[in-house]
Homo-oligomer: A and B are copies of this chain.
């Protein structure tokens, strides 16, 4: 069975449904009974395959973050290899991989919402887990920005990057109150969002 239907195994079905429900109702708001019912698996399957609800949450992150971080650092390296790279290129290297992943798979769009949840939740264990995976990437990007903005002192730069990261998280999660037109596809909606955000953030960083 493992090799016959690998993409629909119990484990992966739980992960996919959990991602969707965590995005919609939060980590505390989505119960294991809701998850297992939607995934059409037994309630005990979560504790059998993942050990606990918290381990399930971490696995939802790990599944996507590893790939996302890898792509971001790869694009950053590619950008920095060009001698004449601009601020917009570095911003694009940070934003675009998240955008791409959010459109790759069915659950990708849900994951960026889950990511935004993680910022809102103050759970210490979850924040540490994310810092271990995300903080390293942010530090590399901060160094890249620092080189492109030599006149900006470090503290001022960190302030602005903080705002950029917050705006990115917000925009990617589509938490805004202004709804997109219904005739604009999800893909072009997110591509426009990334494009606007890059220009907006670049102008703010240069201000």
> Footprint of B on A, CB under 8 Å?
24-26, 28-29, 116-117, 119-122, 131, 134-135, 138, 156, 158-167, 169-171, 175-178, 192-193, 196-197, 199-207
Kindly list chain B residues whose C-beta atoms are within 8 Å of the C-beta of A156: 196
CB distance from A59 to the nearest CB of B (A): 21
Kindly list chain B residues whose C-beta atoms are within 8 Å of the C-beta of A207: 199-200, 202-203
- Taking a contact as CB atoms under 8 Å apart, the answer to whether A25 and B122 are in contact is yes
- Taking a contact as CB atoms under 8 Å apart, the answer to whether B197 and A163 are in contact is yes
Please pick, from B159, B164, B203, the residue contacting A192 in the complex, using a CB distance under 8 A. B159
- Taking a contact as CB atoms under 8 Å apart, the answer to whether B178 and A161 are in contact is yes
Nearest B residue to A130, CB-CB: B177
- Taking a contact as CB atoms under 8 Å apart, the answer to whether B161 and A26 are in contact is no
- Taking a contact as CB atoms under 8 Å apart, the answer to whether A26 and B120 are in contact is yes
- How far, in whole Å, are A118 and B26 apart by their CA atoms in the complex? 12
CB distance from A94 to the nearest CB of B (A): 14
Q: A26-B28, A28-B29, A170-B163 are in contact. Are A119 and B175 (CB under 8 A)?
A: yes
Kindly list chain B residues whose C-beta atoms are within 8 Å of the C-beta of A178: 158-159, 161-162
- How far, in whole Å, are A128 and B158 apart by their CA atoms in the complex? 35
